[in-house]
Amino acid sequence: MGFKRSVLSSNSSPSSLVCERKSVDIQAASLMVVFCLVLGFQQVAIKGVAEEISPLVQIALRTSMATLIIIVFACFKGIGWRDVRCHWRPGVLVGLGFTGEFAFLAWGLGHSLASHMSVFLYTAPIFAALGLHAWVPGEQLGKRQWWGVGLAFMGMVIAMAPGQISQEQWRDILFGDFLGLLAGLCWAATTVIIRKSSLSEAPAELTLSYQLSVTALLLLPIALLSGELMAARFTPLALSSLGFQTLVISCAALLLWFSLLRRYRASQLGVFSFLAPLFGVLFGTLLLQEPLSANFLIGGSAILFGIVLVMR
């Protein structure tokens, strides 16, 4: 399928903005597995240097540095100020959604369990599939594929199931779970906005520049006012982690995601996101000596089977 190189106006009608996307093929599936591997390692990279630099500051710094890199890259590819002005409305919304995702996630981690947050954050593919089904032509899933989505989500719930929790903790955990649900909604909203707006056919570099720049502009002042930025210790390990997060996660991985959104059905791509927390657990086990449970093996098998149902 060919795409026009020129950027469409944000005032174009919705019907003219949406081109029919291909179903996920082996190439797209392989790239999504790589994308989820990177997302899974992201948690280990953040957690590994959390004592030196808080997660909020890590996200603020990496998005700031990645913004500069992507802007330079976009200029090199011929994307100019006119293109930026054409898409600024959906671009700002995408940036706010990305910011909200990380803000609610960081807030929720202070109340809920990490396993709970993984489950509620990764409700995003379900919310995205519902939104795309309702508002974007060509993104509808069949009955068998909806069964696959449900099976993949249930597999993740099983895989991330926590141990015994005292009754006194539940009220605080429920509030944190609600924040995790909001983070998942924000993530899903960015996918629907991209596919429904003029960003659907915009270059991946332009979409990513909106997302990163808005997040950096909002999170950097918060990190500074909270005092966490001044308390950061930039050790060699912390700098290495920031470099990885900037170049591999915020630049390469997200560019890959937005490039795939321009070619394939977002409702099918999103289901692969259920793999990311599983990879996070695997990396945590291999690199941080975190325990691996039988629930993880059972849930992981259910996720894989659910993805197969969606792809078929």
- Give residue-wise pLDDT tens across range 158-205: 876 665 555 666 777 778 878 888 998 999 999 999 988 989 889 999
Q: Tell whether 8 is covered by a domain.
A: no
Q: Tell whether 5 is covered by a domain.
A: no
Q: Tell whether 15 is covered by a domain.
A: no
Give the chain's end-to-end CA distance (angstroms, integer): 21
DSSP one-letter code for 168: G
Q: What is the pLDDT of residue 67?
A: 96
Tokens standing for residue 110:
């202070």
CB atoms within 10 A of CB 2: 5
Q: Tell whether 16 is covered by a domain.
A: no
Q: What is the pLDDT of residue 15?
A: 41
Q: Tell whether 1 is covered by a domain.
A: no
Q: What is the pLDDT of residue 162?
A: 62
- What is this structure's pTM? 0.78
DSSP one-letter code for 10: T
Higher pLDDT, 70 or 172: 70
Domain count along the chain: 1
pLDDT tens for 17-53 read 446 788 888 999 999 999 989 888 887 788 788 889 9
Instruction: Provide the residue range defining the domain that includes 186.
Output: 22-311
Tokens standing for residue 59:
């996200």
Spatial separation of the C-alpha atoms in residues 62 and 243, rounded to whole Å: 8
Residue 221 pLDDT more than 50?
A: yes
Helix, strand, coil abundance in the chain, percent, nearest 5:
75, 0, 25
Higher pLDDT, 16 or 51: 51
Q: Tell whether 188 is covered by a domain.
A: yes
Sign of CA dihedral 184, 187, 193, 195: negative
- At which residue do the structure tokens 């989500």 appear? 153
User: Residue 138 — left, alpha, or beta (φ > 0 → left; ψ -120 to 50 → alpha)?
Assistant: left
Sign of CA dihedral 155, 156, 162, 167: negative
pLDDT band at 303 (very low <50, low <70, confident <90, very high): confident
Q: Tell whether 56 is covered by a domain.
A: yes
Tokens standing for residue 233:
């210790």
% of residues, the chain, pLDDT over 90:
36
By three-state DSSP, how is residue 47 classified? Answer: helix
Q: Tell whether 230 is covered by a domain.
A: yes
pLDDT tens for 128-169 read 888 888 888 877 777 887 887 888 888 877 876 665 555 666
